[in-house]
Structure 1
Amino acid sequence: MSGAEEAAGVGRIFAVRTTMGRELDVALVIARRAEELIAKGEDPGISSIVIPPNVRGYVFFEVEKLASLYRLASEVKYVKASRPVKVSPEELEKLIMPKPVVESISVGDVVEIIRGPFRGMKAQVTGIDRNKNMLTVNILEAAFAIPISIPSDYVKQVKKGE
């Protein structure tokens, strides 16, 4: 651990690979084991457990010693990989706080509409209002171009514009 991490009181962060959809089960089993150690007067060595909402198949642990994570995660039914993966705090922050879709889209990009009445259609972005988080698009499958305003979280980017 670096001097800055020790001064800030930050442990090392590790990702444990799990069966997809069973992240909460793994976190609860390991948390229960840690509580049992605390009840016995031992230090489990885990400071926090994080399950990011958009990350499937991984549970993140902040630990003082990797050995304590090995001990708590051993023989848990849904833990897949035998070795936890070290993750930097910056990487975990990106997973927890993803940037808005409107930040990555620019005029001319092709997007797929994933919500609303035009779901499943592809469209080209003709305008962006970043303050209101809205996009103006032209449906590519339409016979003629009619500009439509939709929220940016109703689309996913398919292709970058030229």
Structure 2
Amino acid sequence: MKEDIEKNQVGPCGIVCISCPLGSGTVAKTAGQTRGFIEGYKISEWAPYVSMDGERIDWDQVVRGMEWMMKYAVCAGCESGGGPPDCTIRICAKENGVELCSSCDELSSCDKFDWLGEHGEQLRETLKNCRGASKEEYIKSLEGSMPWEE
């Protein structure tokens, strides 16, 4: 998936797609590898003999979860039609013709990031610190890290 993402793609929220675990394909790839280990080592057959506080794990559901991640835990990035279709940040940016929220005068009081919890606040702070920067300058300033990992 990493090869499919435009190198300098960034969402209006400030997430640099190539460094995102969903955009880079890391989550989907890891889920596939984990599913392969579960099936290849027949974990579901011997795991019931290893107690986990007396609770049994439904390995069919675990594998189903891995398959879900392989299929849905990928993102082409907002600029390429990826990301949550109901993302309040992307919708607002599109309606207001904003490429990166750091150029929006209402960023400091914006509640569109709230649905992302702590990450939303960290993204908003990172964008505030990059006011006036071009998209390319913003990406370069992050040096391949997610904005909330600075």
Normalised TM-score (structure 2): 0.28
More strand by share: 1
More helix by share: 2
Higher RCO (C-alpha 8 Å, min separation 6): 2
Normalised TM-score (structure 1): 0.26
- Which structure has the larger Rg over C-alpha atoms? 1
